[in-house]
Amino acid sequence: MRRDLLTAARAIIVTTIVCGLIYPLVMTGIAQGIFPGKANGSLIKRNGVVVGSALIGQAFEAPVMKKGTAVLDKAGCSEWIVAKRYFQTRPSGTGAPYNDTGTLDNAESSTFSNLGPNSVLTVAIYKCNISAYLALEKPYDPGLTVAKIPVDAINSSASGIDPQISVANALIQAHRVASVRQLSLGTVDALVHKYTTGRSLGFLGEPGVDVLELNLALDRTTSRS
C-alpha cells in the first residue's frame, strides 16, 4: 500500500517534469529560434510602434458609453462612433451590445456571444446590427437591402476577435471607404482582393479579408482623411 502510493507520487512528479517543464520550455525555445515572428503573435509594427496582430481582430468603432454602460437609442440599440475611413470587423461578443463593456475585439478576455438560435433577444440584437450596418453603408451603396447583407456582418464571431470578414462584406464596405478616402472603387476593390487570404491548400476553410492589413494598406495609399 505505502509502496504503491510512493510509486504514484514519484510517477506524477516525473511526468510533471517531463511534460510540464521540459516539453513546453524546449518547444518555446525551438519555436522562438525558427519562427520568432509567428511564435510571438504575428505582431505588426508601423513606425516602430506595435499597431496590432495580423491574426487578431481589431476594432475600428466603439459604442457610445456613459457611466460605464453603453448608451441606447430609442430602438434599444447601441450608438456607435465609427472610424469611417476603415473597413469594420465583425460584431464581437466581448463588448456591446452583448454585454456592458465598451471593448470590442478584447484580446485579453475572449468570449463567445452565446446567442441562442431560437431566442427573441437574438433577433433583437440582429435587428440592431442590421440597422447599424445599413445606416453606415447604405448612404454609399444605395442598392443595399437587408437581404443583401452577408451573414458574417451581422452574426458575431466565435472568438470575439475574428480578424477577417467575408469578401462580400468587404465589397459592400468598399463603397464607403472609397468615398471617404476619395479613391476610386476599383482601387479599393483591388486592395480587398489583394488582402484576401484564400482557403488553405485551396480547399480547407473559407476565404476571408484580413481587415487590419487591408486598413494599413489603405493608410499607406492615401494620406489620412
Partner 1 sequence: MTFTGWLQIVVFCVLLIGLSIPLGSYLAKVYSDQRVFLTPLLGAPERFLYRLMGVDSRREQDWKQYAKSVIFFSLAGWLLLYLILRTQTIQPWNNYGGVSFHSAPWNVTFNTVSSFMTNTNWQYYGGETTMTYFSQMVGLTVQNFASAAVGIVVAIALIRGIANRTNKSLGNFYVDFVRTVLYVLLPISIVSALVLVSQGSIQNIAHYVNVHGISGLAQTIAMGPVASQEVIKELGTNGGGFFNVNSSHPFENPNGFTNFYEMFLVLIIPASLVWTYGKMAGSRRQALAIFATMFVMFIGGVTVAYAAEAHGSPAQHAAGLHTAVVANSTGGNMEGKEQRLGIAGSALFDVVTTVTSCGAVNSSIESYTGLGGAIPFANLSASEVIFGGVGTGLYSMLEYVILAVFIGGLMVGRTPEWLGKKIEAREVKLVALGILITPLTALFATALATASAAGRASIASVAGAGPQGFSETFYAYLSQANNNGSAFAGYTGYDGTFGNLAGAHGITFADLLGAFDMLFARYAPILFALAVGGALAGKRVSPAGLGTMRTDNTTFVVLLIGVIVLVGALTFFPALLLGPIVQALTGHLYH
Stretch that binds partner 1, among 59-67, 71-79, 136-144, 180-188 (CB under 8 A): 59-67
> What order of strands is seen across the sheet that includes strand 164-165?
164-165, 208-210, 196-197
Instruction: Compute how many other C-beta atoms are within 10 angstroms of the C-beta atom of residue 124.
Output: 14
**In the complex with partner 1, which residue's Cβ is closer, 84 or 179?**
84
Contact 78, 128 (CB under 8 A): yes
d(CA 222, CA 201): 33
- Window 2-21: residues binding partner 1 (CB under 8 A): 4-16, 18-21
Binding mask 79-98 for partner 1 (x = CB under 8 A): ----x--x---x--x----x
Between CA 192 and CA 187 the distance in angstroms is 9
Question: Counting contacts by CB under 8 A, is residue 155 touching partner 1?
Answer: yes
As a whole number of angstroms, the distance between CA 150 and CA 215 comes to 20
Q: Which is nearer to partner 1, 30 or 71 (CB)?
A: 30
Interface with partner 1 includes 163 (CB under 8 A)? yes
Interaction of residue 189 with partner 1, rule CB under 8 A: no
CA distances from 181 to 76, 99, 188 (A): 32, 33, 10
Subset of 100-119 contacting partner 1 (CB under 8 A): 105-119
Tell whether residue 171 is a contact of partner 1 (CB under 8 A). Answer: yes
**CB 92 within 8 Å of CB 160:** yes
Check residue 134 for interaction with partner 1 (CB under 8 A): no
Positions in 190-209 near partner 1 (CB under 8 A): 197, 199-201, 203-208
